Amino acid sequence: DYIYLTVLPISDVTMSFFSFGQSAEIDVVLSDAETRKKVEHKTEDGKKDKYFLFYDGETVSGKVNVTLKNPGKRLEHQGIKIEFVGQIELYYDRGNHHEFVSLVKDLARPGEITQSQTFDFEFTHVEKPYESYTGQNVKLRYFLRATVIRRLNDIAKEMDIVVHTLSTYPELNSSIKMEVGIEDCLHIEFEYNKSKYHLKDVIVGKIYFLLVRIKIKHMEIDIIKRETTGTGPSVYHENDTIAKYEIMDGAPVRGESIPIRLFLAGYDLTPTMRDINKKFSVRYYLNLVLIDEEERRYFKQQEITLWRKGDVVRKSMSHQAAIASQRFEGSAASESALEQAANEESG
């Protein structure tokens, strides 16, 4: 006698096994979703999506909706929780996520759900010390993750938010003045009005030719973003030219002065980030480039600091913004500046 066995592929067995069980969908809804501002933020593939905007010190609250796919059937679970996470991911080290903020709230103890349920959550005055950032080799993100914990397969849903760090006017903001040249050939002096600029600022400057004995045909200013990741022997530098601004087309003469006005608002810039959680830095440089008739390039690079101006002071969050700004600057001047802004707005 022969016994016939039907061998099912593993995927079919798995599907039929899980189809008898109950499943659910999770949705995370912020309590102020209708009024909270959304901003565009670059994703890893270079596209831009809109996300809810938060600042350091603001409360993050809302609801987790667990909707059963098969009403009437019970869903057994080992607990339901929500997490608020801030993490840095280095693209060359995908397996390791470096968490600098990790908060957990338990929403339900182990048990079972027999109908769809909603759970409230609140993370009060959450510290969000760094700006959200998506770069060439690194990503810094904040997200909420709701999880229904199960024996075999957890059901989870993540929701990203964007965090902006705010600053107040720098107390010291000296101009940049430099002389550069090639002995007996070229001698120029350039000056920029400040060394620290907010993201919607205007770079104002001038270039003065003291000596010109080479035939310059073109001159430009570039804004260069330099992203540095890693430490020690495994440091990666990624340079990205954000903007090219032509100053001059044609040969300058001795004694000539050329004005510069470069508007930053039109470019995709972030604040300067220095040694973020000992994982990465983002710095900006002004690169003055001169090209002669023989296509030789002469350039001088100068670092500038970019910062995000606090146009924050909406009534609902002026106090939280003041706390955040004070923490960022480490000075009492921040709070007084924000209070003054709040008074001006209310006036």
Helix (H) or strand (E) holding 209: strand 202-212
Residue 10 has φ and ψ, to the nearest 5°, of -55, -40
Compute the distance between CA of residue 216 and CA of residue 259 in angstroms, rounded to an integer: 17
How far does CA 226 lie from the centroid of its chain? 15
Compute the distance between CA of residue 272 and CA of residue 138 in angstroms, rounded to an integer: 15
186-192 sheet: strands from edge to edge: 176-182, 186-192, 202-212, 257-263
Q: Give me the tens of pLDDT residue by residue for the chain, a chain 347 residues long.
A: 555 554 444 433 333 344 345 688 999 999 999 999 999 998 888 788 999 999 999 999 999 999 998 878 889 999 999 999 999 999 888 778 899 999 999 999 999 999 999 999 999 999 999 999 999 999 999 999 999 999 888 999 999 999 999 887 777 788 888 777 777 777 888 889 999 999 999 999 998 888 777 778 888 899 999 999 987 778 889 999 999 988 877 777 788 888 999 999 989 899 999 999 999 999 999 998 888 888 888 888 899 999 998 764 443 444 554 444 444 444 334 334 444 444 444 44
DSSP assignment of 7-71, as one string?
A: PPPHHHHHHHHHHTS--EEEEEEETTTTTS-EEEEE-TTS-EEEEEEEETT--EEEEEEEEESST
pLDDT of residue 326: 46
Residue 133 near residue 165 (C-beta atoms within 8 A): no
Q: Which domains does the chain have, with CATH numbers?
A: 24-163 (2.60.40.640), 176-307 (2.60.40.640)
pTM confidence score: 0.78
Helix (H) or strand (E) holding 338: helix 332-346
DSSP 321: H
Residue type, 259: P
pLDDT of residue 339: 42
Compute the distance between CA of residue 312 and CA of residue 51 in angstroms, rounded to an integer: 17
Compute the distance between CA of residue 160 and CA of residue 84 in angstroms, rounded to an integer: 10
Question: Burial of 190 by CB count in 10 Å (0-12 exposed, 13-18 middle, 19+ buried)?
Answer: buried
**Cβ neighbours for 236, distance < 8 A, ≥ 6 positions apart:** 92, 137, 228, 229, 230
Q: Which two tokens stand for residue 27?
A: 């949705």
**Cβ neighbours for 221, distance < 8 A, ≥ 6 positions apart:** 203, 244, 245, 247, 260, 262, 286, 287, 288, 289
Residue from 188, 150, 212 nearest 23 by CA = 150
DSSP 6: P
